[in-house]
Amino acid sequence: MIKGEVFVLSAPAGGGKTTLANLLLKEVPNLVRITTCTTRKPRPGEKNGIDYFFLSKEEFQQKIKENAFLEYAIVHGNYYGTPKEEVLKEINKGNDVLLVIDVQGMRQIKKNFKDVVTIFLIPPSFEELINRMKKRGDSEEEIKKRIETAKIELKAWKEYDYIVINDIIEKAKEDLKKIIFASRLKTTRFSPEILGDKILKELMED
Amino acid sequence: MIKGEVFVLSAPAGGGKTTLANLLLKEVPNLVRITTCTTRKPRPGEKNGIDYFFLSKEEFQQKIKENAFLEYAIVHGNYYGTPKEEVLKEINKGNDVLLVIDVQGMRQIKKNFKDVVTIFLIPPSFEELINRMKKRGDSEEEIKKRIETAKIELKAWKEYDYIVINDIIEKAKEDLKKIIFASRLKTTRFSPEILGDKILKELMED
């Protein structure tokens, strides 16, 4: 069985990462999401176990002690973490895992996974970033905080493997698909086992 | 100006690399071919300066002395070489260069270029490989030699970055395009210069 790979998608708040991730998960076969854990309060409509695992601060800290997170971070006072076991389960099944995490999370993941593919999504303009935050109904104070975070996060673009501009969403989606599908053609993800032809298989297996 | 990249496409003889390369060059913008030099005799229909630069052994050896090749190799007694200057000219213009070369050439190129992307094309079966050689009109003796070379070359697959199975040509072409287009989204090929938005550009340039 050929193992799957971990794809990390990051973007400043308002960068459109959630919308794009949902489209990819719907359209790309064998690409799965891992539900992350958080201590932040659910927004209207968000469901526990689907959007996030909503944990208390105490529960979350217990899991940190148990080394149960592949990465975790504190953003605006809330904890966010990716459960390690869930990720390993999926890649061992041959599925690709799409992680939507921030810059801090990406840095931790890169330490834990050698073959992670990291993608940074940027808005077409800074104004558009702010507009998207406003549309989402964030409060004035939250927006201010997020703008400052976005400014810092944008500077991390060089740490990523790929950069995708999210101007037209369809175009950005196709770009992301190309990255995922090309990744599946990597030699590290090939095994002569999958070949139907016996002679070819034997030659390549040495 | 963002530099282009070098893509190396290899396949055992009869693997379909020439047909696919020609399709890619026609359909992928800013992907260019470098005419390579060879001392082998032109096949019927092959044109000097288009299919190859046909050189005498003496001319070729002089160029080797001048260090004019990015890679060169002797295959079945003939010299084949990629002129360095031509490749640099194209990547400095921002074009991607597609090099159709054999395993030996790939090994040399990888020493000379850090960021080269290498792709190995394999036939769907060993029988199909032999069929394609026969269709091309190779002599019995040539076919025998080529089969032995193909067997050795197939073992080199792990040295490549990507592996594409050339069963249905349309599918193989699309796979190759994904590899090229995804490559263009790499952070190493991005510069904030290209952004229209002044604020975003300044934030990302630091």
Q: What is the pLDDT of residues A41-51, one digit of tens each?
A: 999 999 998 88
Yes or no: say if B166 and B119 are a contact pair by the CB < 8 Å rule: no
CA separation for the pair B75, B77 (Å, rounded):
5
Domains for chain A: give ranges and CATH numbers.
6-34+96-205 (3.40.50.300)
- How many C-beta neighbours within 10 Å does residue A83 have? 18
This prediction's pTM: 0.89
Residue-level pLDDT at A169: 94
For residue A83, the number of C-alpha atoms closer than 13 Å in the C-beta half-sphere is: 19
Residue in A124, A179, A199 nearest the CB of B182? A179
Yes or no: say if B83 and B37 are a contact pair by the CB < 8 Å rule: yes
Q: What is the pLDDT of residues B119-174, one digit of tens each?
A: 999 988 888 888 877 887 778 888 888 888 888 889 999 999 999 999 999 999 99
Yes or no: say if B161 and B180 are a contact pair by the CB < 8 Å rule: no
- Cβ contact B164–A185 (<8 Å): yes
Cα angle value A110/A24/A126 (rounded, 5°)? 70
CA separation for the pair A70, A73 (Å, rounded):
11
Residue-level pLDDT at A141: 87
Note whether B110 contacts A: Cβ–Cβ < 8 A.
no
Question: Per DSSP, what are the bridge partners of residue A74?
Answer: A79
Residue in A154, A186, A206 nearest the CB of B204? A154
Yes or no: say if A71 and A109 are a contact pair by the CB < 8 Å rule: yes
- Of B205, B201, B185, the C-alpha closest to A125 is B201
A123 token code pair: 């808005």
A117-122 and A162-165 as β-strands: parallel, antiparallel, unpaired?
Answer: parallel
Note whether B196 contacts A: Cβ–Cβ < 8 A.
yes
B112 or A25: whose pLDDT is higher? Answer: A25
- Cβ contact A162–B123 (<8 Å): no
- Of A151, A160, A173, A155, the C-alpha closest to A17 is A173
User: What proportion of chain A, given as a percentage, has pLDDT over 90?
Assistant: 60
- Of B32, B4, B9, the C-alpha closest to B166 is B9
Which residues 118-157 on chain A approach chain B with CB closer than 8 angstroms?
120, 122-127, 151, 154-155, 157
The number of helix segments (H) and strand segments (E) in chain B equals 8, 9
User: What proportion of chain B, given as a percentage, has pLDDT over 70?
Assistant: 99
3-state helix, strand, coil in chain A (%, to 5): 45, 20, 35
pLDDT at A165 exceeding the cut of 90? yes
